Homo-oligomer: A and B are copies of this chain.
Amino acid sequence: MPVLRLEMHPGRTLEQKRAFVQEATRVTVEILQCPQDTVEIVITEVARDAWAKGGKLRSDG
């Protein structure tokens, strides 16, 4: 702990994930003042037909 969970739509590259966990960890360490090794991040991809906003699936645009 701290644990960060990121939910996002699919489509990002491995390189983007790599950069995200590096930068998000740095921000966490600097601002929350915790050892770098304790920061964990879990990424979950949510398909567009599994997420709705305002009552409408994203896949229905």
> What residues make up the interface of A, taking CB atoms closer than 8 Å to B?
1-9, 12, 14, 16-28, 30-34, 36-46, 49-57, 59-60
Contact = CB atoms under 8 A, between A and B. Distances in A.
A20 B25 contact: no
Contact of A52 (B12, B40, B46): B40
Contact of A1 (B7, B12, B56): B7
Given A24-B24, A31-B23, A40 B6 contact: no
Contacts of A36: 54-55
A32 B8 contact: yes
A24 B28 CA distance: 8
8 closest Cβ contacts across the A-B interface? A25-B55, A21-B52, A2-B8, A5-B5, A41-B52, A43-B50, A23-B27, A37-B54
